[in-house]
Amino acid sequence: MKSANSLMRKFIILFYSGLFLFLAHSYSLQAQEGWKQQDERLEHTFYVIGNIGNDLQGEAQKVLKEIVTASKEDETATLLVPGNFLPQYHPQNNIQQEAQKEMLKKYLLNPLKEFNGKIVFTPGVNEWKKGGQEEIDDLESFLQDNQNNTEVWPDDGCPIEDEDITDEIVLVTVDTQWYLEDWDEHPNMNSKCDIKTREQFFAEFKDAIKDAHGKTILVSLSHPIMSNSNENFFSKIGGFSPQDFQNERNSYLRGRLETLASQFDNVIFISGNEANLQYLEDDGIPQIISGNIGKPKKYSIRKEKHFASTKKGYVRLKTFSNNKTIVDFFALDEGSPRLIFSKTIKNDEPNWDEISFKSKEEVGETVKASIYTKEETEKSGLHKSLFGDFYREVYSKEKPHRYYFWIL
* pLDDT tens-digit map of 240-254: 899 999 999 999 999
**Which long-range contacts link 336-344 to residues 24+ away (Cβ below 8 Å)?**
336/66, 337/66, 337/70, 337/313, 340/277, 340/309, 340/311, 340/313, 341/277, 341/279, 341/307, 341/309, 343/279, 343/286, 343/307
What percent of the chain shows pLDDT beyond 90? 68
Q: What is the pLDDT of residue 342?
A: 98
One-letter identity of residue 94: N
Q: Strand order of the sheet with strand 169-174?
A: 160-164, 169-174, 216-221, 267-271, 285-290, 277-282, 307-309
**Over residues 170-190, mean pLDDT:** 96
> What pTM, to 2 d.p., does this model score?
0.79
Of the candidate ranges 58-67, 154-163, 341-350, the one whose mean pLDDT is the lowest: 341-350
Q: What is the pLDDT of residues 288-305, one digit of tens each?
A: 999 999 999 999 999 999
Which of 43-57, 82-96, 370-384 holds the top average pLDDT? 43-57
Instruction: Identify the CA nearest to 104 among candidates 155, 158, 48, 150.
Output: 150
Residue 373 confidence (pLDDT) above 80:
no
Domains annotated for the chain, with CATH where assigned, are 2-37+356-402 (no CATH), 42-354 (3.60.21.10)
Please report the pLDDT score of residue 241 as a whole number: 92
Closest CA to 124 of 252, 223, 9: 223
Residue closest to 165 by CA, chosen among 224, 95, 80, 101: 80
pLDDT surpassing 50 at residue 31: no
Quick count: other Cβ atoms within 10 Å of Cβ 140? Answer: 21
Question: What's the chain's average pLDDT?
Answer: 86
Q: Which of 121-135, 141-155, 293-307, 350-364 has the lowest mean pLDDT?
A: 350-364
Least confident of 21-25, 256-260, 305-309, 378-382: 21-25
**How many other CB atoms are there within 10 angstroms of residue 9's CB atom?**
10
Average pLDDT over residues 33-50: 77
pLDDT category of residue 36 using cuts at 50, 70 and 90? very low
Quick one: average pLDDT of 84-91?
Answer: 92
Q: Torsions phi, psi of 200, nearest 5?
A: -60, -40
